[in-house]
Amino acid sequence: MQIRTRLWLSYAFVIVVSVALVATMMLSAAERHFLAELRTSMASEARLTGELLQRQGTETLGSRRGRELLARLDKEAGRRITVIGPDGQVLGDSRKDASTMENHGDRPEVRQAIDGGAGSDVRLSETLKVRFLYVAVRSRAPDGTFVTRLAFPLTEVNSSLQAIADMGIRTTLVVALGALLAGLVLAGALTRPIQDLKEFAGRLASGRLSERPPVKRRDEIGELSESLERMAGELASRMGQLTGEKEKLQLILDNMTDGILLLGRNGDVLLANRALEKIFRRPSSELVGKPLSLTTLSAGIEPAVRQALETGQPFEADADLWRPLRRTIRVHALPLTESPGRQATLVVVQDVTKERETERLRKDFVANVSHELKTPLASLKLAAETLLLHLERDPKGARKFAESIDQDVDRLSTMVGDLLELSRYESPQAEPALEAVDLNNVMREVISLFEAKASERGISLSGVLEPALPPIQGSREQLSSLAANLIDNAIEYNSSGGSAEASTRHEGGMVRLVVSDTGEGIPEKDRQHVFERFYRVDKARSRSAGGTGLGLSIVKHVAASHGAKIALSSTPGEGTTVTVDFPSSFPLLARRVFKNT
């Protein structure tokens, strides 16, 4: 309930109660006044009636003449007259036969009159059920003492009092209504400044700290207004400082590469930064305010958090995530105790998928290189030892072993060359000169280099080059390496009588290079791995052919550094087709992005 309403109701209550009390007191005073005047008048009338009866004598009251006298006096005065002896016996009555009436000696007014000379009483008539005023006066007659009692019904007095009460009620209502209206206006005037300050405080609470209170007074409300104004200024200053600090903190959190998660005492997520959203592919709106156990983060984070809380010490663990993508994360959980009973947990999440993949590739690379070098080195050692034994005994056999050594050395040289080339292409520091390259010219040169090898193997090598092909922005050396590795594979993994074809065309804003062959093809299970280092579909054949397993890895990195897309299709027993789509215009910045991806 508003202060204005409470103030007005309090004022109204006081006014109404005060007016009601005054009206009640006035009505009571009027009733007492009427009764006093009536007692005095009836007492005088009773004395005059007693004096008249003294002259007539009380012995005549029982006669017809006496009864007529009482009836006449009753009519003239409008009062019932009863004459009572000292023993309480009714001697005469103006309205009833005295012989039928009971003894009145116990009536209060009669006893008062006998004992003191006069008496009165107000009581309800048992027969008429009406309040009467009884006034009795003692008189003396020659034949003894008697009491003259007059009785008057108070219905007329009550009517007069009711009229006065009605007038008082009307007057009270008018006065109360006027007072209430005046109180309403006064309450509004008193509470309007308070209401203004309340609205001002509400605007402050909503963040509108630049506003100032509209109340200017020289009283307690004015002092309150000035205090609120000072508070608003201090709040604006402190909020500005807090906002600045919050923006700095948010800027730091949003630009961190590590995911940050803050958990409350009950495990509810209090904060999650953008890096965490990226790692788990979930917006913070789906995380903040929810228990960690009910979010998709729980599988990777909850064990580390639980361990940190149980030990009270920082805890670090790695976890694998499988959805939406397979990734590895490193979780650092640190218990935080702000104050007794207030505990939180800081969780730092790092996506170490690339780090793990790099480590795996490094191990695989070392293992593959070791394996690839071990075979030709062992062969070299064996051939060298055999050569030493046959140099003198079997010169012709020694030549065979020397040729084997020469082949193994060539194979090692090729492998080292491919490794150096791949390493150079993958190096972020290597920035080859970029130029507008005509892919048709590159393909003609490469095809001419492999014509002799294709002819020796009985394979038909051809080129279908679209004229007026748009140039490619890139490295001529790397593009030549890409084409050479594709054509070499098309010849190497083909059969005598087969064919290999290289074609170019301009399509949809892209320059497309297609190299296809009619060789043995690649099984479906091997297709996703053929661009990995040292991967061979047929290991025995690759080694016998002198392949290193690095050719398609080189193709993959050259294509990526030029923003190209590679597609491979193959049918076992029918052949393989490799398609490379180059953008006709590919800026240096984009090339660097693709290269470092």
Q: Residues 133, 16: one domain?
A: yes
Residue 327 one-letter amino acid: R
78 is a domain residue: yes
Q: Residues 133, 279: one domain?
A: no
Q: Which of 337, 354, 371 is the last residue of a domain?
A: 354
CA distance 551 to 202: 73
Q: Give the CATH number of the domain where residue 387 resides.
A: 1.10.287.130
**Domain extent at residue 572:** 432-583
CA proximity to 204, closest of 238, 230, 243, 232: 232
User: Residues 538-555: pLDDT tens digits?
Assistant: 654 444 444 566 778 888
Quick one: pLDDT band at residue 401, thresholds 50, 70, 90?
low
Q: Residues 8, 151: one domain?
A: yes
Residue-wise burial string across 5-36, b where 16 or more C-beta atoms lie within 10 A, e elsewhere: eebbeebbeebbeebeeebeeebeebbeebbe
CA distance 112 to 107: 9
CA distance 244 to 250: 10
Q: Residues 140, 278: one domain?
A: no
Q: Give the CATH number of the domain where residue 304 resides.
A: 3.30.450.20
Share of the chain above pLDDT 70, in %: 74
171 is a domain residue: no
223 is a domain residue: yes
DSSP, collapsed to helix, strand or coil, labels residue 128 as coil
Q: Residues 457, 503: one domain?
A: yes
Residue 412 one-letter amino acid: L
Structure token pair of residue 498: 């087969």
201 is a domain residue: no
Q: Residues 332, 250: one domain?
A: no
What mean pLDDT is reported for the chain? 78
Of residues 144 and 555, the one with the higher pLDDT is 555
Q: Give the CATH number of the domain where residue 521 resides.
A: 3.30.565.10
CA distance 509 to 260: 43
187 is a domain residue: no
Q: Which of 143, 160, 177 is the last residue of a domain?
A: 160
Work out the angle between the directed axes of helices 395-426 and 551-561 (0-180°, nearest 10): 20
User: Residues 250-290: pLDDT tens digits?
Assistant: 788 888 888 888 888 777 888 888 888 887 777 877 778 77
Minimum mean pLDDT among 98-102, 314-318, 423-427: which range?
Answer: 423-427
Q: Residues 279, 364: one domain?
A: no
CA distance 86 to 474: 150
Q: Residues 269, 294: one domain?
A: yes
Q: Residues 335, 392: one domain?
A: no
89 is a domain residue: yes
Q: Residues 130, 222: one domain?
A: no
Q: Residues 506, 531: one domain?
A: yes
211 is a domain residue: yes
Q: Residues 131, 81: one domain?
A: yes
Q: Residue 201: exposed, middle, or buried by beta-carbon count in 10 A (0-12, 13-18, 19+)?
A: middle
CA distance 229 to 217: 13
Check if the beta carbon of residue 292 is closer than 8 Å to that of residue 312: no
Domains identified in the chain, total number? 5
φ, ψ dihedrals at 475, nearest 5°: -105, 125
| pTM exceeds 0.85 | no
384 is a domain residue: yes
pLDDT reported for residue 597:
39
Residues β-bridged to residue 576: 570
